[in-house]
Chain A
Amino acid sequence: MTEPLDWYEFGPVASIPRQSARTTRTDAGQIAVFRTVDDRIFAIPDRCPHRGGPLSEGIVHGHKVTCPLHNWVIDLATGNALGADDGCAGRIPVRIENGRIMLGLTRAKAEVPGD
């Protein structure tokens, strides 16, 4: 919990089309990185707090994504479910350096699972 964050390069901003997501696998599960219509970048675990739906496959609108399985709407900035639904997907710190997306993770979490 108190372990310091390290920054990991995910790839260039341009690798994600607007209003879409790209994913990456880590030990702690799949991460979805979103690019919104106004070019903001957000990263959250790719698991819907409802029943684990792949949020990266949802429709991205504003700073939100709608889960493809049962239409929960998740706030990308906080990972919280919006509206009547209750739950949180979690959130991963993001930094942009020279057009490249950096994700803030603890070392243990960033490991790629062994194939």
Chain B
Amino acid sequence: MTYISPRPHGRPERLVVVGNGMAGMKAIEETLERAPGRYAITVFGAEPRVNYNRIMLSPLLAGEKSFPEIVINDAGWYEANGIVLHQGDPVVKIDRERQVVRSRAGHEVSYDRLLLATGSSPIVIPVPGKDLEGVVSFRDVDDVERMLDAASAGGNAVVIGGGLLGLEAAVGLQARGMQVSVVHLAGWLMERQLDQAAGFLLQRELEGRGVTVLTEADTAEIVGTERVSAVRLKDGCTLPADLVVMAVGIRPNVDLARNAGLEVERGVVVDDFMTTSDPAILAVGECIQHRRQCYGLVAPLFEMAKICADRLAGIETNGYAGSITSTKLKVTGVDLFSAGEFQAGDDCEDIVFRDAARGIYKRLVIEDGRLKGAVLYGDTRDGAWYFQLMRTGEEIAGTRDTLIFGPAFAGAGAPANPSQAVAALGDDAEICGCNGVCKGRIVAAIQSEGLTTVDDVRRVTKASGSCGSCTGLVEGLLQAALGDGYEASEVKPVCPCTVHDHDTVRRLIRVGRLKSIPAVMQALEWRTPDGCHVCRPALNYYLLAAWPGEYVDHAASRFVNERMHANIQKDGTYSVVPRMWGGLTSPKELRAIADVAERYRIPTVKVTGGQRIDLLGVKKEDLAAVWADLNAAGMVSGHAYGKALRTVKTCVGSEWCRFGTQDSTAMGVALERLTWDSWTPHKVKMAVSGCPRNCAEATIKDFGVVATEGGWDLHVAGNGGIKVRPTDLLCKVKTPEEVEEHCGAFLQLYREEARYLERTAHWVERVGLDHVKARVVDDAEGRRALYRRFLESQRHAQDDPWADQTVRGTTRNEQPALLAAE
């Protein structure tokens, strides 16, 4: 065994890395941890960008993440560690004699140690038409961009290959609005990870989402002249296609190594210490072959990276012994886990559990009294435990009968709950496969660094930071470690009906294209049949905001005030507040109000704090008539009952006031006309003052405008309620059009990002004013897009509920008198 010892004269050794991907940079991270400063590192990457998390390309495609969110090490990291990065510049030659690599751009760099981490390339099946425009693979950010480009025009996508990548691509493209077909050669989906039964459940789930799945389907030709137009199958069937994604497998990138004369078979051959046939050259990742085995998942690559780092740091280890791998499909709402062997041989025995009603299927494969494989569909909570049993090769004879029910049962027979299940795991049990983090590491971090939230754990250990499917396990660990202390964490479920917090629910509604309350509850596994008074109104709002014009409002999920379009009082009567645009009224309106008050014997008429008139104590059965009379005088609902735009207070402004600098009244009316009837996470109040004396109290409003000599100051996130909070200055603008654009954009950002029942003040304090400025002020293009989305949503919203005939029915919900049965 040769160990690398530090150079006697102390000059850092030169370490060159070929491949700026997941395995290579993981090996560097681990090396820097073990032997900081030992190496002067140069990295060549063929891709023109920093190191990112490749497995997150699926969420990137589906729109669940943005590129900055999937970057693992940004430019600052390279700089801080003195790493020279040549991005977009592949190495084309290794000169082993001189210990020099040469890049395409002509850089020559000498090395003492060379690390190959070139990953692999997608296999392209050699059918006619494979080079047509619109035929892509799914490997890097450029591929995703090509797919998004095609998806932006809608149309049909054909994904060739029903494995992990193909299915993630299919679901992602579907989420982007394409009609997707999956063409798969084998008899069922993901045949290398799933048995037939689980493959069938998965197929049914995807078909339920509108993806067409063709199995035993072999591609004959990709049809098209310049661009692809269809895919023809060997059975003669033709599928229209504007985009074809080939996802049929990967092949290790070995050309560079082969040309340098290294020992290469399917991959670059390495020993247990990740060393190639040249002792100065190591290799890790998908490009290698170890004990005749190649790998295509990150968990084994991370194990290799650690062994490689030990080697580079001169630490003695037992070396790498190969990995058992497990697979999860990163498709929101599909729980699928598979590990080990499950193509049962003659000496294997199977334990199968099915619950058709809940769509659960579990199969364990046992050989020689040990667990060899597991396929879990629909309920994957125990996956980590089974995986651990497989890796340790533990005897399971004693627990065989209850094994299928998971760890809680196998132990004391106590009922299963997630924190118990995770408590049953050993310290070296892997929790996060994506980042190779085991239970012991997380527990230690929780204890030594006083972590209390999933976000904390993510930040410190990276666990659950990638595909996120182990979030439940991480929560279980927090729960076990902190007990009641964990309840105080930041991530609060919307209500006891769900484990998800508001932000997650919103994100998954968009990504999963969930368009009804039952669909959300089904996909996100609500624990109650139809939610409760807390989650239903929130879901109703989120759906309304996500799918304007498409989602049909669900009256039974609204609080009585919003259902009745009036405010319930303590005696069961209602108050009615007609809109007075910008606080302006007229003799005609006042007369109509007076008539209504007399006609329906309304006991109290009051001027509100929002510059309009409240009619209090209206009987429920009179509501429809009161609205009709007010409508007849041209008045509409003031939404004084709703999580919606309330009032726009104004002062008299330049039209009358001796100090007024601008027409604040007209500006207020314009803003109210723009924004009325928009549903928002909480109520929204606005005001416009004609000069800095600020008679309309604009600086305690959600959106406040103060006129100046030169234009308008725009203020946001004020609150005059329970805790007074003055506004923050958003920006200064010149014209009324700019005021409207900023107002609409600000409201839309609030509508898209805030949690239900979060006023703008609390939202802005949470996300920071800088964030709001970046989106609404600095990014003009983004502002206009927000404004457009606001206008689009308003196009479907601006109907007066009082004038809407269907609403009138809501007041007539009394049955006629009871009839005695004969």
Task: Write the residues of chain A forming the contact surface with B, with a CB cutoff of 8 angstroms.
Answer: 6-11, 15, 17-26, 33, 36-38, 51-54, 56-62, 64, 66, 68-69, 71, 73, 97, 102-103, 105, 110, 112
Contacts and interface: CB of A to CB of B under 8 A. Distances in A.
B531 interface: yes
Contact of A7 (B572, B815, B821): B821
Given A8-B819, A8-B820, A9-B821, A37 B530 contact: yes
Interface string B787-822: 000000000000000000000000001111111110
Given A22-B815, A60-B556, 12 more contacts: A7-B821, A8-B819, A15-B815, A19-B557, A37-B529, A52-B572, A59-B532, A59-B533, A59-B556, A61-B530, A61-B531, A112-B817
The 4 closest A-B pairs by CB, nearest first: A66-B533, A19-B556, A8-B818, A59-B533
Contacts of B558: 59
B564 A61 contact: no
B568 A57 contact: yes
A21 B560 CA distance: 12
Contacts of B537: 59
B815 A68 contact: no
B815 A57 contact: no
B536 interface: yes
B820 A11 contact: no
Given A22-B814, A110-B820, A68 B530 contact: no
Contact of B821 (A6, A11, A52, A112): A6
A19 B517 CA distance: 13
A37 B819 CA distance: 26
A36 B529 CA distance: 10
A28 to B, nearest CB: 11
B570 interface: yes
A57 B821 CA distance: 28
B559 interface: yes
B819 A62 contact: no
Range of interface residues on B (Cβ < 8 Å): 20 to 34
Contacts of A69: 568, 570
A53 B818 CA distance: 23
Interface centre among B564, B568, B570, B813 (most CB of A within 10 A): B813
B556 A112 contact: no
Contacts of A62: 528-530, 532
Interface string B515-534: 00000000000001111110
Nearest to B497: A61
Interface in B493-539: 528-533, 536-537
25 contacts: A6-B821, A7-B820, A8-B819, A11-B815, A20-B555, A22-B814, A22-B815, A24-B814, A24-B817, A25-B814, A33-B815, A38-B529, A52-B572, A54-B568, A56-B813, A57-B568, A59-B533, A59-B537, A61-B530, A61-B533, A68-B559, A69-B570, A73-B533, A102-B821, A103-B818
B536 A59 contact: yes
Interface of chain B: mostly helix, strand, loop or mixed? loop
A77 to B, nearest CB: 14
B553 to A, nearest CB: 13
Contacts of A105: 818
Interface string B539-572: 0000000000000000111111101100010101
Contacts of A23: 813-815
A61 B557 CA distance: 9
Given A62-B528, A71-B533, A53 B572 contact: yes
A56 to B, nearest CB: 7
The secondary structure that dominates the A interface is strand
A110 B818 contact: yes
Contacts of A10: 815, 818
A31 to B, nearest CB: 9
Contacts of B561: 68
Contacts of B563: 57
Contacts of A112: 817-818
A71 B568 CA distance: 13
A22 B817 contact: no
Contacts of B533: 58-59, 61, 66, 71, 73
Contacts of B820: 6-9, 110
B621 to A, nearest CB: 11
Contacts of A15: 815
A19 B814 CA distance: 16
Contacts of A54: 568, 572
A61 B814 contact: no
Contacts of B559: 59, 68
A26 B559 CA distance: 26
A36 B532 CA distance: 12
A22 B813 CA distance: 5
Given A51-B570, A59-B557, A21 B536 contact: no
Contacts of A26: 818
A15 B814 CA distance: 10
B814 A8 contact: no
Nearest to A102: B821
Contacts of A59: 532-533, 536-537, 556-559
Contacts of A9: 818-821
A41 B556 CA distance: 16
Interface string B719-730: 000000000000
A10 B559 CA distance: 26
B821 A8 contact: yes
B559 to A, nearest CB: 7
Given A18-B556, A23-B813, A66 B818 contact: no
Contact of B813 (A21, A58, A68): A21
B821 A68 contact: no
A51 B560 CA distance: 17
Contacts of A20: 555-556, 813
A22 B531 CA distance: 21
Interface in B468-485: none
A45 to B, nearest CB: 13
A36 B556 CA distance: 11
Contacts of A33: 815
B530 A24 contact: no
B567 to A, nearest CB: 11
Contacts of A103: 818
Contacts of B815: 10-11, 15, 22-24, 33
A100 to B, nearest CB: 9
Contacts of B557: 19, 59
A55 B708 CA distance: 51
B565 to A, nearest CB: 13
Contacts of B814: 22-25
B450 to A, nearest CB: 32
A102 B799 CA distance: 39
A24 B818 contact: yes
A52 B573 CA distance: 12
A112 B814 CA distance: 13
Best-buried of A6, A19, A20, A52 by chain B (most CB within 10 Å): A19
Contacts of A25: 814, 817
